[in-house]
Amino acid sequence: MYRWLLCWRYLKTRYIALASIISVTLGVATMIVVNSVMLGFTHEMQNRLHGILSDLIFQSRSLEGFPDPDWHMEQIRRVAGDAIEAMTPTVVVPGMLNYQVGDAWMTRPVQIIGVDERTQAQVSDFSKYLQHPENRKNLSFNLREGGYDVIDHQADGPSLPRDEMALAGWEHRRRAARLRKMIEQVQQEPEQQSPSQGAEASPFTNPFERAQTNEPVAAFDPETSQYTGAILGIGLASFRRNGQYHFLLLPGDDVKLTLPTVGTPPRIVSDTFTVVDFYESKMSEYDANFVFVPIRVLQQLRGMIDPSTGKGYVNAISIKLKPGADMNEVRDRLRNAFAPQYYAIDTWRDSQGPLLAAVNMETAILNVLLFLIICVAGFGILAIFFMIVVEKTRDIGILKALGASAAGVMSIFLGYGLLLGVVGAGAGLTLGLLFVRHINEIADLLGRITGHRVFDPDIYYFYKIPTIVDPWTVGWIMAGAMLIAVLASVLPALRAARLHPVEALRYE
Amino acid sequence: MNKLTSTTDGLSSASQETGHLPRSPNGEPSDAHPLVARPHFSLRKHDGSSETLRQSQDLECVDEPAEATECLLSVRGLVKSYRKANVEIPVLKGVDLDVRPGEFLAIVGQSGSGKSTLLHLIGLLDHPDQGAVFLGGDRIDNVPVRIRDQLRNRTFGMVFQFYHLLPELTTLENILVPVMIGRSFWSYWRQRKEYRRRAIELLELIGLGHRLKHRPHELSGGELQRAAIARALINRPQILLADEPTGNLDPETGAEILNLLRTLRDEEHLTIVMVTHDHSIAALADRIVCLSGGKIRNEAT
C-alpha cells in the first residue's frame, strides 16, 4: 500500500521525472502516427493493386500467348473450379500511342491490353476506375454522348477540378470534326483566312485540340462515326499542374496505336482508335501506361486468330476467386497442373512482391528507429531515477527502519517506473490518436505555415492522407514503452533496495 | 501525568476519554513470526527460536542473560566497529545492557560515543560484529531478514533526532506508513477505516489532532517529533527506541516531548530506550546508563 501511495505522490511532486517521459510520449505518439499512415498507405495501395490485377493471373511466358482460352479456362475450372468465381482472357502487348497535340505528334510507350468487355469487370475493379458513370455500370467501347465526370468520383472530399471533361463525348468529336473541316477549307484558301483566326472564331476552342488528323478516310465521317474504342490511362492524356487537371486529349479524340504482330520477326502494325473513356486507378505507374482495347480487335490486329478455327490466342487469363478461397493454395494447385515452362501462375501479391516487401521493410525500419527513440528515453528515466534515489536516500532509510523490506523498497521504484511508463505511453497514445485523427488538418496547417504542401495531391493520387489505426500495433507500442520504463528503473530500484538503513539515515 | 496535563492542552482530556487506546480486533496477522507476535515472553517452544538460542550459546563472549524472564531486552557483549579508509574504528567494545519491561532507560554519552550505534543494533538496523541482542530471552540479531523487517515494523518503534517524516505525505499518512508496510494491500484496504481511526486517536492523544492534513514542512519541530512518536507507536510496539528525540528542540519543547514519552509509557505499556547527550533530559528517565569508551561505565537511577 505504502508503495503505491509513495509512487503516486512522487509522480505528483516530481515534475522533473515527468520531463523524462516526454520522450516516451513523443516516441509512442510518433510510432502510432507513422504506423497508422504507413498502414493506411499500404492498405490503399494493396487495394488498388488488387483492384487492378485480379486475384490470380494465369500468364503465358511468351508474348505470342497460348491458343484457345476457352479450353484453358475449362482446364482451370477442372483443377480449381470450386474456388473460382470468374475468369477473363486478356491480351497484353507493349506498343506505342500516338496522338496529335496542336500540330505536333506525341508518342508514348504503352502497354496495350485487350479486354473482354463482358467479363473484364467481373474479375477486377477495372470498371470502377472509369470516368463515365454508364461505363462503370456497363462497360462499352462505344463513345458516349457526354456526361463524363467533372469531379473525381473516387474522392470522398474535395478533389482537383477537371472541368474540361464536361466537353468530352460525341459533342466534342463533332466540334473537332467541324473545326477540322474549317481548317481544311482555310488551308485551301490561305489568302482569305489564317488558321489562327479560324481557331479563335470558335467559342469552344481548346488549345490542345485544334486539329486531330488530316488524313481523309474514305466513307468515314468523324462527325457521326467512331473508330474502335480505346480506354486510355488518364496519365497518358493529362497532366496536373497548379492543382488542376489539364487534358491533352478528351474522349472523342482519335489516337493511333502501333504494336508488333505475332510471328518471328514481328511486323509493326498500326491502327486508329477513338478514345472513349479514361482509366484512373490512382497508381501512376498503371495510369500512365495502360491502354485498353477490345480483345477481338487486338487479336485481329496482331494476327492472333487462327484462320482455321477462328479462335484467338491470348496472353493471360485473369482469375477472380470466391471470397474466402486460399489464393496461394489455388495457385499451387494450378502450378502443379500446368507446364511451368509455358505458364506463369501468380497471385497479385506474387507479382507485386518486391513493392509490397519494400513497403513492409520501410515500416519495419521506421519502427525499429522509433523504438530506439523510446529506448533513449529509457536512459533518461534511468538517469533521473538515479537522481531521485540519491535524493530519497534518507526516506529509503526511514522506510527500512520502519520495517520495509528490500523488495518493498525496490517495488516503490519499479512501480514508479511503471507509473511513469503508463502516464508517458498514455499521453503518447492520446497525442498519437489525436494527430492521426486530424492529420489532414495538421498537414494543411503545416503547408500554410511553411508555404510548402506536405501532402501534395499533384504528386499523390489520394486527396487525403489515408490512415488506419491497428489496435494490436498500438497495444504492442504501449506495452513496449511501459516495459522500457520499468526496465530503466530496475537499476535505480536495485540501488535503493541495497541501501544500508543506517548509512541511509545518516545521509545528509 | 500532572505535568503532562499542564503542558499539553487537550491531550489529557483526549486520553482520559479514550483510556487505553482500543486494540484493533485482529491487528496481528496470522503469518507474523512468533518473535514478533505478542505476548512478550514464552516464545522458545515456537519454531526457530530455540535454535537461535543454541547458536547464541556457541558464542564465547556471550553469556545467557541472567534473568531472562525479568528482562524484556538484553544486550550481551556487543562489539561494533566502522571501517573508514581501511582504518577500523571501534565504536562498541563489549556492551552489556538489560532493560526491564515498562522501564524508561536513558543512555547518556558524548557525541561519537557510539550510543546511536548501540540503538541501531538493538533496533536491528545494523549487525553487530560480535555479541547478541535478546528479546524476551530469544536471540534476535541473527534472525532471517524477513523476521528482522517484521520486528522493526511491529516490536520496535523508532524515533530519530531529525524526525525523518516523509515529505511527500501528510501527517496522517506518515503515521500510517508502518501500518501499510506491515500489511498487504488488501488487508490494509479492508481495515483502512479502523487504522485511520487509531491514527487519529493517537494524533489527538499527542496533541496533533488539528494537523492531520498538513505536510511535514508546515509543522514546527515539536510537532514533527510528536508526529514521529505517533508513527513509532501506531503498530503498538513493545519497545520505543528514541535517538536524541530532543536534540533538535528547545529545552521547553524537549521537556514536553519527554513528558509525553513518560505518559505514553504508562498508557501504551511501553518500554523506552532513549539515547541522549543531554543529562537534564536524561534525568527525566527512570534509569540512566552512561556509555563511554565503547562500554557501559556506570549506572545511576
Q: What is d(CA B178, CA A187) in angstroms, rounded to the nearest whole number?
A: 109
Eight-class DSSP state of A54:
-
How much is the pLDDT for A97? Answer: 92
Looking at beta carbons, which residues of chain B come within 8 Å of A13? 168
Q: How does residue A133 score in pLDDT terms, banded at 50, 70 and 90?
A: confident
Q: What is d(CA B1, CA B197) in angstroms, rounded to the nearest whole number?
A: 24
Asked if residue A400 lies in contact with residue B125, where contact means CB atoms within 8 angstroms, the answer is yes
Which of A9, A401, A502 comes nearest B152 by C-beta?
A401
- Partner-chain contact B168 A9, CB within 8 Å: yes
pLDDT higher than 60, residue B47: no
Each residue's pLDDT tens digit, B78-137: 888 888 778 888 888 888 888 888 888 888 888 778 888 888 888 888 888 888 888 888
Each residue's pLDDT tens digit, A421-460: 899 899 999 999 999 999 888 888 888 888 777 776 666 6
Burial of B296 from C-beta contacts in 10 A (0-12 / 13-18 / 19+): buried
Query: Chain B 192-221, CB below 8 Å of chain A: which residues?
Result: none
β-bridge mates for residue A338, sequence order: none
Q: Greater confidence, A373 or B49?
A: A373
Residue A493 φ/ψ, nearest 5 degrees: -65, -40
What are the distances in angstroms from CA A8 to CA A2, A413, A417, B212, B214?
Answer: 10, 11, 11, 19, 18
How much is the pLDDT for A210? Answer: 46
What would the mean pLDDT of B224-237 be, rounded to a whole number? 86
**CA neighbor of A286 nearest in space, from A234, A332, A249:** A234
Question: pTM of the prediction?
Answer: 0.70
- Partner-chain contact B185 A1, CB within 8 Å: yes
**Mean per-residue pLDDT over chain B, rounded:** 75
| Cα within 13 Å of Cα(A316), Cβ side | 25
Q: What is d(CA A356, CA A350) in angstroms, rounded to the nearest whole number?
A: 9
3-state secondary structure of A270: strand
Alpha helices by DSSP H, B216-292: 221-233, 251-267, 279-282
pLDDT higher than 70, residue B301: no
- Partner-chain contact B168 A13, CB within 8 Å: yes
Asked if residue A276 lies in contact with residue A143, where contact means CB atoms within 8 angstroms, the answer is yes
Each residue's pLDDT tens digit, A37-55: 888 888 888 888 887 888 8
Asked if residue B44 lies in contact with residue B137, where contact means CB atoms within 8 angstroms, the answer is yes
Portion of chain A with pLDDT greater than 90, in percent: 12
Q: How does residue A461 score in pLDDT terms, banded at 50, 70 and 90?
A: low
Q: How does residue B152 score in pLDDT terms, banded at 50, 70 and 90?
A: confident
CB environment A295-323: b (16+ within 10 A), e (fewer): bbbbbbbbbbbeeeeeebbbbbbbbbbee
How much is the pLDDT for B6? Answer: 38
Q: What ipTM is given for this predicted complex?
A: 0.76
pLDDT higher than 90, residue B226: no
- Partner-chain contact A404 B181, CB within 8 Å: yes
Q: Find, in chain A, the residue whose alpha carbon is nearest to that of B183.
A: A1
Cell numbers 462527325 correspond to: A223
Residue A278 parent element (H or E): strand A268-279
Four-CA torsion A74, A80, A82, A88, nearest 10 degrees: -50
pLDDT higher than 60, residue B22: no
Q: Greater confidence, B211 or A470?
A: A470
Handedness of CA B39, B40, B45, B49 (dihedral sign): positive
3-state secondary structure of A301: helix
Asked if residue A275 lies in contact with residue A253, where contact means CB atoms within 8 angstroms, the answer is yes
How much is the pLDDT for B112? Answer: 78
Which one of B140, B143, B168 makes the best mutation probe of the A interface by having the most chain A beta carbons within 10 Å? B168
Cα angle for residues A485, A491, A492 (degrees, 5° grid): 85
Looking at beta carbons, which residues of chain B come within 8 Å of A408? 181
